[in-house]
Amino acid sequence: MIKIDNKKKVFVLDGKNYSYIIYVNEAGTLQFVYYGKKVDGDDYLTSVYAKTLAPEPNGFNIDNAFNGMPSEYAFFGKGDYRAPSTLFVREDGFRASRFVYKSHEVVDGAPDFGSLPHARRGGKTLCIVLKDELSDMEISLNYTVFDDSDVIVRNAILRNCGKNKVRLNKAFSFCLELPDAQYDIMRLQGRWAQERMPEVTPIGKGTVRVDSSQGGSSHAMNPFAALLRKTCTETSGECIGVNLIYSGSFAITAEASCFGALRLQGGINDLNFEWILDGGEKFVTPQAALCYSAEGLGGMSREFADFYRNYIIDPARAYMRRPIVINNWEATYFNFNRDKLFDIIDAAAPLGIDTFVLDDGWFGKRDDDKSGLGDWFVNEKKLEGGLKGVAEHCAEKGMKFGLWFEPEMVNEDSDLYRAHPDFAIGKRGVTPSRQRNQLILDFSRKDVVDYIYDAVSKVLKSCNISYVKWDMNRFMTEFYSEKLPYERQGELAHRYILGVYDLAHRLTSAFPNVFFEGCAGGGGRFDGGMLYYFSQIWTSDDTDAFERTKIQWGTSMCYPVSAMSCHVSACPNHQTQRITPLATRGLIASLGATGYELDLTKLDDCEKEEIKRQIASYKNIDELVLRGDLYRLSSPFNSNYFCEMLVSKDKSQAYVAGERIHGVPCDLNYIIKLKGLDPNKRYTVKELGITASGKTLENAGLLLPRLPDFGAWTWNITECK
Ligand code: GLA
């Protein structure tokens, strides 16, 4: 709900449990007042409270734009020496700005930004237009609120209303200026096969920067940060999370000023970013989703999960039962032929697996990672009978067929590159930096995107393909497009991502019956922008059942478990060499969109029975994965137990899954207190043969079984009717 005092220009935005208040101050600038638990928009908040937030330091009066000014979108060069939200240069070189209120309107729903990922619907959107007193620039700030959510969606649109061009050097999506900096900051940092490890550090004075300049959101840092009050825990206390709905280079900064305020802002990374706005043009920044939680990190995660499922992920897919996949990558790598694939399919069908996904190596000349990318036509020499033969074999066995692509990439050893070397990003004559022997196609060019669209469409039309794994295995270097003029080269990285979105938009619209999964060398581009197009994403190339507890725990901070592709793989694990029980691997994979990634033909009967059992059990709980609330009960980072729980919205069913990390002789008692149940309902815990009230299960908890190394357990909990 949005309440506006039109006379005093006070805007009160109310979501499910929070209020967000801003107002136009005496100096005409848009100022932050309050963000937190619900309040009434009482007069004193703007007449007294807001003024103490922006104290005039003794002797200073620099147009109300000094280091203590709580700005809703910070401008540059008028006495506020902290990082601005935007920095632009006019034709005469002048770069100071001072944005004041011009107008506002409230519209139903959420703005539609075409193929740039955005909240698909909304309750209401407040749009406030600010005007620069020193140039012809205007900025529209959008705030979309939802009655059923604690997420508020923000972005900024910069408009050049003059005739002369302006060069944007920075155009962030949002700025949130909190009155104090008594927070720690959480980021999800990592590397290949170790994505999204939560790290919490104090803020201190100065700037904490969470960013990627790689041309993709990256393995190293997710476009997410959370501010945690010192009292914030998993289950209680206040935190504010921000998640950018964007897949390119990004930055989120938290800057504590000398006057004690904290400026949290973010958007497209300003490093290596420039954008020319000709007269009359506008620049739309990606959306940022902000979440206020008074119920700790768990509360924040559940709000983000609901937000993604209800407002970002394709509504036709968000709650759709997910295909249970067998993927051949770790079974065969590049070394397969038709017979080998048929054997895997034959072994999969009786186990209850419903989709076979053929991974890398089916196209062009591709027997290793040195060649073939870009040549999207089947290699019939390697795959006798082509894709059609595999698709038909799947159909005979009652299974569906899926295919791996890496549409954004090219090998120099490919027909595509030999014909069109200029299609690749980089400067001719400069040796390219290769990662995995490949280059990136210049998706800032429409002709390149068109070419790939045609090539991929042709394959998708060639036989019955119902699943696509869209991979992306390197990040950007030698940022240069042969087709962009000198002054627009700084636009490349963002234009590239817009090209990726354009292709994803066109392919997902043209093939509505194909289920798309995202991937980027594992989970190197696991973000809200990708989730807009791909309903689930390959979480990590690390499929080890212990490592996955940490990766999935971190990923769940701001993404729903149903968005995580989680596969059972072989042991010793290919990434860590660790041996874990097959039951444990199945159980950890059941806390997401489950699947398999191993050579099924090498399993003995016992192992096949175990997989059959896993799939049958998964079918009893997959509604909880799709629709339930996640409670993280015991952290693999600071305890010997990993344990998570999914609870149905009506609290009639729950699923607890856990893993003991190391077996310890004479181990101490360890009690898990369940969460999220209805205290007054009675439940049965199937595996323990007990019944108890929600109150007892939450307060007294359950004693954990004493298991060996990497042993796992489940508790299936149902309401007694
Ligand atoms: C990436 C993916 C893997 C697999 C390989 C194929 O590493 O993350 O799952 O598809 O590429 O080359």
> What confidence score (pLDDT) does residue 55 get?
60
CA-proximal residue: ligand 1, atom 11 (nearest): 521
Mean pLDDT throughout 286-307? 98
Which ranges of 628-712 would DSSP assign to H, the alpha helix? 694-699
Other CB atoms within 10 A of residue 50 CB: 21
Enzyme catalytic residues: 471, 541
At residue 399, what is the residue type? M
The predicted pLDDT at position 26 comes to 85
Reported as a pLDDT band with limits 50, 70 and 90, residue 61 is low
pLDDT higher than 60, residue 180: yes
Q: In 549-679, where do the E strands start and end?
A: 564-569, 593-597, 629-634, 641-647, 653-660, 671-672
Other Cβ atoms closer than 10 A to 669: 7
Nearest to 529 by CA among 559, 551, 554, 488: 559
Query: How far, in Å, from the CA of 471 to the mean position of ligand 1?
Result: 7
Question: Would you place residue 194 in the very low, low, confident or very high pLDDT band (cuts 50, 70, 90)?
Answer: very high
State the closest ligand 1 atom to the C-alpha of 520, by its place in the atom list counted from 1: 8
Tokens at residue 163, please? 């005739």
338-348 helix and 386-396 helix, angle to the nearest 10 degrees: 20
Please report which helix (H) or strand (E) contains residue 182, including its range: none
pLDDT 10s digits, 386-420: 999 999 999 999 999 999 999 999 999 999 999 99
Distance in Å, CA 595 to ligand 1 centroid: 15
CB of residue 519 inside a 6 A radius of ligand 1? yes
Give the C-alpha separation, 206 to 212, whole Å: 19
484 C-alpha to ligand 1 centroid (Å)? 31
572 prior amide bond cis, ω within 30: yes
* pLDDT over 60 at 64, yes or no: no
Determine which of 55-69, 202-216, 512-526, 580-594 has the lowest per-residue pLDDT on average. 55-69
Q: For the residues 464-474, what does the mean pLDDT come to?
A: 98
C-alpha 494 – ligand 1 centre gap (Å): 24
Query: Are 72 and 32 contacting, i.e. CB atoms less than 8 angstroms apart?
Result: yes
Task: Record the pTM.
Answer: 0.98
pLDDT of 59 over the 50 cut = no
Q: Is the CB of 599 under 6 A from ligand 1?
A: no
- Among protein residues, the one with the nearest Cα to ligand 1's atom 1 is 521
Q: Which of 258, 242, 41 is nearest to 153 (CA)?
A: 242
pLDDT at residue 68 greater than cutoff 80: no
Q: Is 360 near ligand 1, meaning CB less than 6 Å away? A: yes
Cβ(473) – ligand 1 distance below 6 Å: yes
Kindly indicate the confidence band of residue 260, based on its pLDDT and cuts at 50, 70 and 90.
confident
Q: Which of 326, 473, 542, 566 gets mutated to test ligand 1 (max ligand atoms within 8 A of its CB)? A: 473
Number of other CB atoms surrounding residue 386 within 10 Å: 17
Query: Does residue 62 have a pLDDT over 80?
Result: no
249 Cα: distance to centroid of ligand 1 (angstroms): 22
Q: Is 405 in the pocket of ligand 1 (CB under 6 A)?
A: no
pLDDT at 239 exceeding the cut of 80: yes
Given this model, what pLDDT does residue 230 score?
96
pLDDT at 60 over 50: no
Average pLDDT estimate for 598-612 = 98
Q: Which pLDDT band, with edges at 50, 70 and 90, does 713 fall under? A: very high
* CA–CA distance, 53 with 83 (Å, rounded to integer): 18
Least confident stretch, 425-439, 467-481, 659-673: 659-673
The residue ranges of DSSP E strands in 360-433, in sequence order, are 400-405, 409-411
Distance from the CA of 364 to the center of ligand 1, in angstroms?
17
Tokens standing for 540? 């990590």
Residue 141 has pLDDT above 80, yes or no: yes
Residue 224 Cβ < 6 Å to ligand 1: no
CB 177 within 8 A of CB 263: yes
Asked if pLDDT for residue 57 goes beyond 70, the answer is no
Mean pLDDT of 542-571: 98
In short, whether 615's Cβ falls inside 6 Å of ligand 1 is no
Residue 56's pLDDT band, with cuts at 50, 70 and 90, is low
Mutate to test the pocket of ligand 1, among 369, 471, 526, 574 (most ligand atoms within 8 A of CB): 471
